[in-house]
Amino acid sequence: MGVEERWQDRVPRRVPAWRGRDDRNSRVQQRSRWMLIAGSALLLVAMMLARWLPHGPGSGAAKSAIPMAPAVVAAAPIGFGEKLTPDKLKLVDVPAQQRPKGHFARIDALILGQGRTALRPITANEIVIDAALVAGATRLSTAPLLGPTMRALAVQVNEVTGVSGLVFPGDRVDLFLVRQPDEAMPYADLLAQNIRVLAVGSDMNIARDKPGVVKTVTIEVNPLQAQKLPLAMATGEIRLALRPFGNEARVRLQSLQVSDLNDGTTTRMVRKPGNAPAAAPRPAAPHQRPAQSVIVMRAGAASAADVLP
């Protein structure tokens, strides 16, 4: 028995052929499985890179080549009439071509000197522009809004003459004079065109969003118009006509009277009862020539007889 064991130990054991093939197949399958997992991972990484990285050659360079420039924006909402302070402003970089006209590149330009006050509400992160501000930090005033040679004039209005309260600061209007003199028929004249409204009542907020009936409207006029309008208000009634946005064209009009109110149809004047003119006297009958007659004597008596023509 011991000899047989020693002989078995010396003779190498042979593995069956079918077990060798199974081991090789198992190693091939395991290698394929790992290659499939690695390929899936690489594909996932490639998809993520394609999603987050810029497409095309030079895309990153083109994106970074957009010129940027500083601009002052509102760090917090700024209400109408509020003074601009450093805590309400911040400086950010924006695309240089997207900066609006009248922007500011430094914060100290808005807070030094007289300072600036908001003429309308400014939302947070909105670029601050000069058109939304007025110089002079202590209070709002109409004077800084005027042109170098212009004047501010208040016109008395009501619900009708003031376009039902639908005129807002910043709008453009035409002015008409309606007059009824004692010696002539009523008429209407065009006084001024394309006049800018500075304030409605005491409100200069160009972002006003609620209409309201007021007693006065402050407008911007030249010195000659400032001389004419008070005289016009003393002799008649001023009416405002609201213009569309951006329409600054001038039109040519003539004085309009009551007889011009129709649309070109024939007008038949009817007089009031009791004001009819007196009847014209009838013409005198034409003078008739006297008939010719002769004296006829009959039995000593004389008589006249007409002579037929």
The CATH number of the domain holding residue 103 is 3.90.1210.10
Report the C-alpha gap between 241 and 39 in whole angstroms. Answer: 76
Residue 153 and residue 198 in one domain: yes
Report the C-alpha gap between 218 and 29 in whole angstroms. Answer: 91
pLDDT value of position 56 = 53
Residue 249 and residue 155 in one domain: yes
Residue 40 belongs to a domain: no
Which region, left, alpha or beta, applies to residue 165 given φ > 0 means left and ψ of -120 to 50 means alpha?
left
Highest mean pLDDT among 1-5, 101-105, 110-114: 101-105
Report the C-alpha gap between 237 and 139 in whole angstroms. Answer: 33
pLDDT value of position 17 = 54
Q: Is 260 a residue whose pLDDT tops 80?
A: no
Alpha-carbon torsion angle 130, 136, 142, 148, nearest 10: -70
pLDDT band, very low/low/confident/very high, at 174 (cuts 50, 70, 90): very high
Report residue 76 CA to chain centroid gap.
Answer: 26
Q: Is 126 a residue whose pLDDT tops 90?
A: yes
Residue 114 and residue 179 in one domain: no
pLDDT band, very low/low/confident/very high, at 193 (cuts 50, 70, 90): very high
Residue 124 and residue 185 in one domain: no
Residue 60 belongs to a domain: no
Q: Is 155 a residue whose pLDDT tops 60?
A: yes
Report residue 12 CA to chain centroid gap.
Answer: 102
Mean pLDDT value across residues 258-278: 66
Number of domains present in the structure of the chain: 2
Residue 172 and residue 228 in one domain: yes
CB 222 within 8 A of CB 151: yes
Task: Give which of 83, 213, 197 is closest to 146, Cα–Cα.
Answer: 197
Question: How much is the pTM?
Answer: 0.54
Q: Is 198 a residue whose pLDDT tops 70?
A: yes
pLDDT value of position 133 = 86
pLDDT value of position 70 = 92
Residue 219 belongs to a domain: yes
pLDDT band, very low/low/confident/very high, at 227 (cuts 50, 70, 90): very high
Query: In terms of residue numbers, what domain contains 177?
Result: 147-260
pLDDT value of position 248 = 79
CB 162 within 8 A of CB 240: yes
pLDDT band, very low/low/confident/very high, at 151 (cuts 50, 70, 90): very high
Residue 129 and residue 152 in one domain: no
Mean pLDDT value across residues 154-181: 86
pLDDT band, very low/low/confident/very high, at 269 (cuts 50, 70, 90): low
Residue 246 belongs to a domain: yes
pLDDT band, very low/low/confident/very high, at 19 (cuts 50, 70, 90): low
pLDDT band, very low/low/confident/very high, at 140 (cuts 50, 70, 90): low
Q: Is 288 helix (H, G, I), strand (E, B) or coil?
A: coil
Report the sign of the C-alpha dihedral through residues 201, 202, 208, 212, in that order.
Answer: negative
